[in-house]
């Protein structure tokens, strides 16, 4: 950021509408990340209003201009502050936009924050903090007896009073599934980098969102990668070199502590190892699932390109990609053969599978149909081609339908054991 000097001025704005902060969580969860000088700065800014002297701020905090820059950087990195500056002649006006800390649950759901905290404080302290904040701000697992809105208010006012809210709700539309990427935050960062937000077409933004989700890349970092992958003389909608962007995402795949939180999209409730595996498949991106299957090691570039294709080009849902990848690895000596994977993926897409259980159910039905068909007399299929299979670096071995079915048979025979 630009250096703040004693001659400058600053303003503070609260951006999420509340000065209420969980002080315990701020101290226990954020302080180890941001360090004391940043913690003191945040607490000081919280009490400031109006246009104030930057020199007075530095004096109160006993910081030099350089020390101030170092103190505010971690606040910006963890999302507590966003900084803007207006230049008015020789004087600068800094605007510090403050955000409340995440709730404890949101903090521990954010693998970057909780993973960094884990690395800083160590296993013992992290376990204590996890236990202390596990149920904070969580609704109880009990029957709710709260009174509903219609039982208190009769809603007897003119109908047009209510239609405005309904229209606004329709404009927002249905949230896209699978994507936790905040497009608004991404475009804000793009503008902060000096670029226009209208450079990108809708399909281009969809691809950026999917790549960010696939590789669990935050909006700020994704904006930097996109800015480095721009082709400025290309038409709007084709400004981003997707091959370059994909390569950056694969190379920067994060290696933080991964919180394997259980999901519910498959509605699996058992405590067996298979049930736990399905829940994991439903909750982590394919790049992370590949890393887990490899004991925490970074997946091969070819494997990452393959799951990219399944997600971006074929539109297969992440949980289905995880289920498919897992069982191809299990039944084919830990090798992902692209032709085989893509052939099965196409069937899952046509079937409309969205969860890991959807994928497994479909493959099980396919297995059962094959098993029933073998009970009927039929001529044994033969291959008509006598050409040998040629291997080279640019061509994959052709996979027959019989081999695909054999894989499915092995898959479910193995899954039942």
Q: For the residues 304-308, what does the mean pLDDT come to?
A: 85
d(CA 117, CA 257): 9
Coil, strand or helix: which one is 88? strand
From 314, 258, 334, 264, select the one nearest 289 (Cα to Cα). 258
- Confidence band of 9 (pLDDT split at 50, 70, 90): very high
- How many CA atoms lie within 13 Å of 204's alpha carbon, on the beta-carbon side? 21
245 or 392: whose pLDDT is higher?
245
When comparing pLDDT for 75 and 381, which is higher?
75
With CA atoms as reference, report the closest residue to 399 among 352, 353, 331, 350.
331
In the chain, % of residues over pLDDT 70: 71
Residue 192's φ and ψ, nearest 5 degrees, are -65, -25
Cβ neighbours for 42, distance < 8 A, ≥ 6 positions apart? 26, 34, 75, 80, 81, 98
Q: Which token pair is 6?
A: 């004693």
Low-confidence winner among 216-230, 366-380, 384-398 (lowest mean pLDDT): 384-398
Summarize pLDDT for 18-41 with one digit per residue, the tens. 556 788 889 999 999 999 999 999
* Parallel/antiparallel/unpaired status of strands 9-14 and 91-98: parallel
Report the predicted TM-score, pTM, of the whole model to 2 decimal places.
Answer: 0.39
Whole-number pLDDT of residue 63: 92
User: Confidence class of residue 391 from pLDDT cuts 50, 70 and 90?
Assistant: very low
pLDDT, greater one: 353 or 173: 353
195 confidence band (pLDDT: 50, 70, 90): confident
Identify the residue with better confidence: 164 or 188.
188
Task: Please give the Cα distance from 258 to 263 (Å, whole number).
Answer: 14
pLDDT at position 71: 93
Query: 3-state class of 98 per DSSP?
Result: strand
pLDDT at residue 398 is higher than 80: no
C-beta of residue 323 within 8 angstroms of C-beta of residue 359? yes
The predicted pLDDT at position 158 comes to 52
pLDDT tens digits for 154-187? 545 554 544 444 333 333 333 333 346 788 888 8
Q: What is the pLDDT of residue 168?
A: 39
Residues 4-27 have a mean pLDDT of 82
Most confident of 14-28, 330-344, 394-408: 330-344
Residue 288 clears pLDDT 50, i.e. is over it: yes
Residue 131 has pLDDT above 50, yes or no: yes
CA nearest 39: which of 72, 11, 66, 9? 72
């Amino acid at each position: 950021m630009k250096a703040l000097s004693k001659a400058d001025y600053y303003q503070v704005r609260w951006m999420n509408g509340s000065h209420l902060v969980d002080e315990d969580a701020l101290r226990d969860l954020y302080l180890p990340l941001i360090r004391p000088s940043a913690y003191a700065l945040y607490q000081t800014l919280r009490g400031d209003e109006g246009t104030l002297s930057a020199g007075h701020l530095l004096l109160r905090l006993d910081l030099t201009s350089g020390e101030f820059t170092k103190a505010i950087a971690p606040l910006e990195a963890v999302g507590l502050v966003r900084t803007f500056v207006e230049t008015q002649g020789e004087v600068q006006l800094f605007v510090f936009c403050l955000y409340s800390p995440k709730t404890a649950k949101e903090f521990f759901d954010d693998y970057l924050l909780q993973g960094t905290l884990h690395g800083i404080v160590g296993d013992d302290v992290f376990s204590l903090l996890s236990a202390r904040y596990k149920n904070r701000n969580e609704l109880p697992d009990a029957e709710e007896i709260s009174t509903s809105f219609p039982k208190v208010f009769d809603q007897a006012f003119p109908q047009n009073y209510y239609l405005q809210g309904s229209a606004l709700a329709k404009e927002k539309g249905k949230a896209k599934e699978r994507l936790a990427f905040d497009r608004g935050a991404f475009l804000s960062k793009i503008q902060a980098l000096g670029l226009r937000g209208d450079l990108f077409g809708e399909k281009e933004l969809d691809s950026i969102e999917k790549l960010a989700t696939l590789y669990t890349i935050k909006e700020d970092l994704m904006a930097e990668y996109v800015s480095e992958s721009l082709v400025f003389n290309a038409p709007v909608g084709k400004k981003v070199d997707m091959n370059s962007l994909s390569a950056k995402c694969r190379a920067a795949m994060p290696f933080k502590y991964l919180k394997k939180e259980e999901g519910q999209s498959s509605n699996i409730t058992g405590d067996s190892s298979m049930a736990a595996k399905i829940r994991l498949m439903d909750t982590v991106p394919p790049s992370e699932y590949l890393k887990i299957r490899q004991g925490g090691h970074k997946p091969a570039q070819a494997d990452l390109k393959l799951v990219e294709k399944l997600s971006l080009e074929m539109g297969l849902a992440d949980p289905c990609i995880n289920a498919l990848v897992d069982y191809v690895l299990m039944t084919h000596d830990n090798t992902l053969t692209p032709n085989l994977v893509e052939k099965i993926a196409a069937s899952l897409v046509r079937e409309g599978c969205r969860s890991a259980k959807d994928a497994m159910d479909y493959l099980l039905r396919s297995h059962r149909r094959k098993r029933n068909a073998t009970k009927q007399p039929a001529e044994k299929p033969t291959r008509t081609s006598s050409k040998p299979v040629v291997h080279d670096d640019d061509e994959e071995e052709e996979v027959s339908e019989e081999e695909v079915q054999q894989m499915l048979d092995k898959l479910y025979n193995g899954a039942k054991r």
